[in-house]
Chains A and B, each alone.
Chain A
Amino acid sequence: MSLLRAALSDDLPRSRWLAIALVLVVLGLALAPFAFPGAKSLNVAAKICVFIVLAASFDLLLGYTGIVSFAHTMFFGIGAYGVAIALTRMGGEWSAVAVGLVAGLVVAIVLAALIGLFSLRVRTIFFAMITLAVASAFLILASQLPQLTGGEDGLNYRLPAVLRPSFALADGTFLGVRLNGRLVDYYLVYVVSFALVLLLLRIVNSPFGSVLMAIRENPFRAEAIGYRTVVYRTIASCIAAAVAALAGALLALWSSQTNPDTTLSFDIMVDILLMVVIGGMGTIYGAVLGATVLLFAQNYLQDLLGIASQAFAGVPLLANLFHPDRWLLWLGVAFILCVYFFPSGIVGSLRSSSGPRASLSARDASGPKDLKS
């Protein structure tokens, strides 16, 4: 038990239902290749792992530091393209992965520091607008440099031998699943994602994390106590960028192709925002649940909407309203309702429903208060 406490950095779920949900996600993802065999479900499971890391790193910014960045997918893309370009140029070797990973991390951190120092010293609202501008310029840049990035089509490359589907870990099958490189690849993604989420929990529960929360609650007071808020906010955005780049590298290693749509597009940014807000800002666990819920919705809600659309087939506007491609409409409505009525998202609702003990505990699950500057 104390081991678990240490692994979670003393930040326990503090709600029976939240704990059950988290255990379900962790176990479900761990057993996914055997419990839900098939290429599509394995792909969904790996994407959930990657997006949990991505959303959790965004939560460090949005939930803990109280700044909104629209450039988070840019760092995700930098990580993915770093590995992808290196694998394309140097062939499917682990050395290429290492080179691409380091290059991606360096570019992401330097860029995050530059943007932060430029825009965080004036007002946090500048940061939101400037990151949006920079990210859209970067997206166009990536599609305009076809020699390097493959343009709109992106890059297709060979993974290191151990991760290829043709690699056999052992002869035969285990529980009906072939033990090949895809399985190794999946567990690589899973283990690294798991470790990164624990690392983020460690960071937000450190003294550094407390300073971030102090800045979120009242930047003037934090400055008055003697913390350089610009420096802390910039460091937080650098850490978030680095973790996002790592998540991007994981995606590149999983899918063996990287293109602007899957890594850089504004749609992905909207997805991350929805994941963190619906899951619960400022909790890290919210990102875990939010990413799982959203990716499930993305992959399976469409089927449900298809049925509803069939039911309204005769009515002109309603049929369009429930068209499978309009799933984002419904999540957008859920997002707005969340910001108004459940600012602490799923996690906050679960925590407050599990009785007075939880809500009286020292660290309350309330979402971030608002910035006045």
Chain B
Amino acid sequence: MKRDWLPWLLIPAVGLLALPLVGSLASWVTLSVAGLAMGLMIFVMASGLTLTFGLMDVLNFGHGAFIAVGAFVAASVMLALAPLMGADSLWLNLGAVVPAVLAAMLVSGALGWGFERAIVQPVYGQHLRQILVTTGGLIVAEQLLKVIWGPEQITLARPTALRGAFLLGDVAIEKYRLLAVVVGLLVFAALALTLNRTKLGLLIRAGVENGEMVEALGYRIRRLFVGVFVAGSALAGLGGAMWGLYQETVTAAIGAQVIVLVFIVVIIGGLGSIGGCFVGALLVGLTANYIGFLAPKVALGSNILLMALILLWRPQGLYAVAKR
């Protein structure tokens, strides 16, 4: 099968197009890194959503709840480990951030498992009720977050070693954004390796193509799906924790805010395609930052405009998952 590289070329194309418009190389590099960091964080949150859709035709409007839970759990752990966060050593800082992120993934994943059993399972194959029930789940989850953590927003300072920026000549690169890029790329690499090089990945990809056939060959696609759902929820929790540190505040509305970007990315990429999701996330992150710099007034509509352009070019998204 010939690989379709055209969408991947869009990413450097957008970057090169922005270079003469931005003018100075230094601010272009800063903007590009910011765009990549934002895009990769969105990718981490969106990957689970697009996979569950591809595998089981389930669109979870409550995905934002996992993002918010991840952000809140991570914030609580980090606030509890405040001395480590304030210490002037990268290793001590990581000693607070890593447990926080792990806790966020664990809680979000566990919640995902419960959500799948209680909310999603009874409405397989019924899109209308899926949308309604998962939206209801989002409403209840958002209110429960307020019950547990209180209605006020939580302020969260980044650990000492991740504040400030590196200076390379006159190019300033924020340290935290660099970390976000590294983590995002690691997640993408891990997902790509799992999907393309392992038996499990083979089954998932086969399930996306033709679920009935996989079942006929004797594999329990239900169990596979629950696993993907839990992993996707955990990734959403990771993304939420990263986003909370990026914004330095955490509110119960964080899920509803980010889910709009996540949906745009999933639509642009083509529902169910992990590669498309990656390309879409980077495109959204880059254009949002370039246009935010060039024309702040237009920036709000830029994501919608990008989505409209891509759907005009490929109505099913960048990579259409051919079925149904």
Is A136 a contact of B260 with CB atoms below 8 Å?
yes
Task: Indicate if the CB atoms of B303 and A370 lie closer than 8 Å.
Answer: no
Contact of B267 among A126, A141, A323, A333 (CB under 8 A): A126
The complex places the Cα of A329 from the Cα of B142 at a distance, in Å, of: 8
Least distance between A281 CB and chain B CB atoms (Å): 9
A271 → chain B closest CB, angstroms:
10
Task: Report chain B residues within 8 Å CB of A121.
Answer: 315
Check: A321 CB closer than 8 A to any chain B CB. Answer: yes
Q: Could you tell me if A133 and B146 are in contact, using CB atoms closer than 8 angstroms?
A: no
What residues of chain A lie closer than 8 Å to B150, measured between beta carbons? 320
Which residues of chain B are near A133, meaning CB under 8 Å? 260, 263-264, 267, 303-304, 307
Chain A 116-128 per-residue mask, 1 if CB under 8 angstroms from chain B, else 0: 0011011011101
A84 to chain B, nearest CB (A): 21
Alpha-carbon separation in the docked complex, A335 to B61 (Å): 15
Whether the Cβ atoms of B300 and A141 lie closer than 8 Å is yes
Closest A residue to B126 using CB positions? A370
Cβ-defined contact, B260 with A273, below 8 A: no
Asked if residues B131 and A125 are in contact (CB atoms below 8 Å), the reply is: yes
Task: Indicate whether A90 reaches chain B with its CB closer than 8 angstroms.
Answer: no
Stretch at the interface among B132-140, B191-199, B211-219: B132-140
Q: Size of chain B's interface in residues, with CB distance under 8 A? A: 44
In Å, the complex CA distance between A277 and B135 comes to 12
A320 & B315 in contact (Cβ 8 Å cutoff):
no
Is B122 at the interface (CB under 8 A from chain A)?
A: yes
Judge whether A130 and B140 touch: CB under 8 Å: no
Q: Are B143 and A332 in contact (CB under 8 A)?
A: yes
Q: Is the CB of B135 within 8 A of A273?
A: yes
**B133 lies within 8 A of A266 (CB):** no
| B59 interface residue (CB < 8 Å to A) | yes
> CA of A129 to CA of B271 in the docked complex: distance in angstroms?
11
Looking at the assembled complex, report how far the CB atom of A14 sits from the nearest CB atom of chain B, in whole angstroms.
24
Q: Given A329-B143, A332-B136, A132–B307 Cβ distance below 8 Å?
A: no
A residues 28-69 in Cβ contact with B at 8 Å: 62, 66, 68
Contacts of B297 in A (CB 8 A): 144
Q: Is the CB of B119 within 8 A of A336?
A: yes
Q: Please state if A137 and B300 are interface contacts (CB–CB under 8 Å).
A: yes
CA distance A368 to B266 in the complex (A): 28
Interfacial chain B residues near A136, Cβ < 8 Å: 260
The residues of A that contact B267 with a CB separation of less than 8 Å are: 126, 129-130, 133
Is A4's CB within 8 Å of the partner chain B? no
Question: A138 to chain B: closest CB distance in Å?
Answer: 9
Q: Of A122, A134, A336, which is within 8 A of B316 by CB?
A: A122
Q: Is the CB of A370 within 8 A of B127?
A: yes
- Given A129-B266, A133-B303, A134-B304, A371–B128 Cβ distance below 8 Å? yes
CB distance from B212 to the nearest CB of A (A): 15
Distance of B32 from chain A, by nearest CB (Å): 24
Beta-carbon contacts of B17-60 to A below 8 Å, as 1s and 0s? 00000000000000000000000000000000000000000010
Complex formed: what's the CA distance from A336 to B304 in Å? Answer: 30
Interface assignment of A339: CB less than 8 Å from any CB of chain B: yes
**Within the complex, what minimum Cβ distance (angstroms) separates A173 from chain B?**
43
Complex contact B144–A118 (CB within 8 A): no
Chain A 263-292: CB-based contact to B (< 8 A → 1; otherwise 0): 000100010010001000000000000000
Chain A hits for B131, CB < 8 A? 68, 125, 128
Q: Is the CB of A336 within 8 A of B151?
A: no
B269 CB to nearest A CB, Å: 12
In the complex the two chains form, is B133's CB within 8 Å of A339's CB? Answer: yes
User: What distance in Å separates the Cβ of A11 from its nearest Cβ neighbour in chain B?
Assistant: 22
Chain B positions 201 through 216: 1 when the CB is less than 8 Å from some CB of chain A, otherwise 0: 0000000000000000
Which residues of B come within 8 Å of A, CB atoms? 59, 61, 119, 122-123, 125-129, 131-133, 135-137, 139-140, 143-144, 146-148, 150-151, 256, 259-260, 263-264, 266-267, 271, 297, 300-301, 303-304, 307-308, 311, 315-316, 324
Pairs A–B under 8 Å by Cβ, sample size 22: A118-B308, A118-B311, A121-B315, A124-B127, A129-B263, A130-B307, A133-B264, A133-B267, A136-B260, A137-B303, A141-B301, A144-B300, A270-B135, A277-B132, A317-B147, A329-B140, A332-B136, A332-B140, A332-B143, A333-B140, A371-B126, A372-B125
User: What 7 pairs between A and B have smallest CB-CB spacing?
Assistant: A329-B143, A370-B126, A332-B139, A336-B136, A332-B140, A335-B136, A129-B263
